[in-house]
């Protein structure tokens, strides 16, 4: 598209998005927002009891759809529910456990965003400043700001679109590769911007590669050090690692199984890989307990100032029931509760990790397969069971009504 065409499209999209960045306070209804307004602390959000039997049924359904294993852990103000079904390792048959470590994929983006918002708190970074101010000459348009990057509104093309057009060959081609951040940005810049800066939401891993470059530039250290000193150590996360370019998942972990595009072809063990194609956009390893601790602390206000947490929750609409903030997703559930967190897709692993307003109740769910849209849709049901409780009879099919749109994958490579 010509630059003029891009700008015109941008203007149209801008008018569509004119409502979008409604602030955190105006976010869609939580069931008991009245109670919150009435003065109870946000932390005291009252939710229906989790439906643990329903949660187990969701995981069992995922197994019937070719997930080797699936787990979920709920942390609810000190009460813990752990559910595990199936295997961590198809070869040995070892049962999967909620204590197993796994690759979290794009949940990494929330880690990267937290680091950058802490840097904003410290006065080292400004959200509405051009990325090129910090990384001179990196991006083709000086109008792309830090905020545009963290909210997927830069227009930067997602290079994974081409990389994983063919799922297994694409994966095998990069599983042992080591990319620099610049290599990945260069891949993206082979294509023009998809929209004028700020004009439209378009999920792109490139944005969080740029986030990693900003972290390294501003801290003078690899992203691993920033995750370690700013998140992992203060929160006491024992299962969380940033391994790059090593290929192993340390300690006891679930193996990941990638589903080939060819119907009926055997699953491919994709556990070991550099994840160099994602790095600060997707290479963190963690566990259900640690991700629950992380999102609970984040929404509880323990990782950033209240001001930066509010910035993280300036939502751009993704669709009628989802918003994207700064490295943070909002999902509006069928019972009217909104939850905050991130999803993750990396070869062999689908993750959902979301918490309630104030961080009081959190769930992390994992299926150790990917490239299987049916399993992805099923696993979204873990949020319904966790935050909406037992479905009323008439609404019993609510979880099945919404088909997941492969939200962590550029639309061009999504496969149903």
Using CB under 6 A as the criterion, which residues of the chain lie in contact with ligand REY when the complex forms?
105-106, 160, 164, 167, 170, 205, 258, 278, 281-282, 344-347, 370-371, 408-409, 413, 415
Contact 197, 146 (CB under 8 A): no
Residue 106 appears among annotated catalytic residues: yes
* Start-to-end Cα distance in the chain: 28
* Beta carbons of 70 and 365 less than 8 angstroms apart: yes
Query: DSSP 3-state assignment of 234?
Result: helix
Segment (H or E) for 339: strand 338-346
| Active-site pick, 2, 15, 40, 106 | 106
Q: Please state the closest distance from residue 256 (CB atom) to ligand REY, in A.
A: 8
Residue 119 or 375: the one with the smaller Cβ distance to ligand REY is 375
Token digits for 114? 């937290």
Q: What letter would DSSP give residue 248?
A: P
144 or 278: CB nearest ligand REY: 278
Closest residue by Cα to residue 314 from 306, 326, 302, 303: 326
Identify which of 317, 278, 237, 239 has the alpha carbon closest to the alpha carbon of residue 22. 317
Please identify, using beta-carbon distances, which residue of 47 and 114 lies nearer to ligand REY. 114
Q: Which is nearer to ligand REY, 3 or 415 (CB)?
A: 415
Q: In angstroms, give the least distance from the CB of 170 to ligand REY.
A: 6
* Smallest separation, CB 406 to ligand REY (Å): 8
C-alpha torsion sign, points 406, 411, 415, 416: positive
Nearest to 348 by CA among 267, 291, 227: 267
Q: Give min distance, CB of 305 to ligand REY, in A.
A: 27
Please state the closest distance from residue 351 (CB atom) to ligand REY, in A: 8
Q: Which is nearer to ligand REY, 13 or 375 (CB)?
A: 375
Q: 369 φ, ψ to 5°?
A: -145, 170
Smallest separation (angstroms) from ligand REY to the CB of 408:
3
Chain position whose Cβ is nearest to ligand REY: 282
Q: Would you say 386 and 83 are in contact if contact means Cβ atoms under 8 Å apart?
A: no
Phi and psi angles of residue 287, each rounded to the nearest 5 degrees, phi first: -140, 170
Query: Please, which residue, 311 or 372, has the CB nearer to ligand REY?
Result: 372
Structure-token pair, residue 306? 């209240």
Catalytic residues: 106
């Amino acid at each position: 598209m010509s630059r003029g065409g891009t700008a015109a499209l941008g203007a149209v999209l801008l008018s569509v998005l004119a409502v979008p960045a409604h602030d955190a306070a105006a976010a869609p209804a939580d069931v008991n927002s009245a109670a919150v307004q009435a003065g109870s602390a946000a932390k005291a959000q009252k939710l229906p009891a989790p439906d643990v039997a329903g949660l187990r049924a969701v995981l069992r359904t995922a197994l019937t759809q070719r997930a080797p294993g699936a787990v979920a852990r709920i942390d609810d103000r000190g009460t813990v529910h752990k559910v595990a079904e199936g295997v961590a390792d198809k070869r040995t048959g070892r049962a999967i456990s909620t204590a197993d470590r796994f690759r979290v994929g794009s949940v990494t983006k929330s880690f990267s965003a937290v680091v950058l918002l802490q840097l904003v708190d410290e006065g080292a970074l400004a959200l509405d400043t051009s990325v090129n101010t910090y990384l001179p000459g990196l991006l083709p348009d000086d109008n792309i700001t830090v905020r545009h990057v963290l909210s997927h509104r830069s227009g930067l093309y997602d290079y994974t679109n081409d990389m994983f057009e063919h799922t297994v060959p694409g994966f095998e081609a990069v599983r042992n590769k080591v990319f620099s951040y610049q290599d990945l940005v260069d891949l993206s810049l082979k294509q023009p911007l998809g929209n004028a800066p700020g004009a439209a939401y378009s999920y792109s891993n490139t944005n969080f590669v740029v986030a990693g470059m900003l972290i390294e530039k501003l801290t003078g250290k690899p992203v691993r050090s920033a995750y370690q000193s700013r998140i992992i150590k203060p929160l006491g996360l024992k299962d969380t690692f940033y391994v790059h370019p090593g290929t192993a998942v340390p300690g006891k972990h679930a193996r990941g199984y990638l589903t080939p595009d060819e119907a009926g072809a055997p699953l491919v063990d994709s556990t070991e890989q550099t994840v160099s194609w994602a790095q600060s956009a997707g290479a963190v390893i963690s566990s259900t307990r640690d991700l629950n601790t992380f999102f609970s602390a984040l929404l509880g206000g323990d990782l950033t100032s209240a001001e930066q947490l509010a910035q993280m929750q300036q939502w751009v609409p993704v669709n009628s029931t989802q918003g994207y903030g700064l490295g943070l997703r909002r999902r509006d559930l069928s019972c009217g509760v909104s939850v905050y967190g991130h999803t993750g897709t990396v070869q062999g692993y689908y993750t959902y990790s979301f918490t309630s307003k104030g961080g009081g109740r959190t769930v992390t769910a994992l299926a150790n397969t990917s490239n299987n849209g049916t399993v992805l849709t099923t696993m979204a049901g873990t949020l319904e069971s966790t935050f909406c409780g037992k479905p009323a009879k008439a609404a019993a099919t609510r979880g099945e009504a919404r088909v997941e749109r492969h939200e962590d994958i550029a639309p061009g490579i999504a496969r149903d």
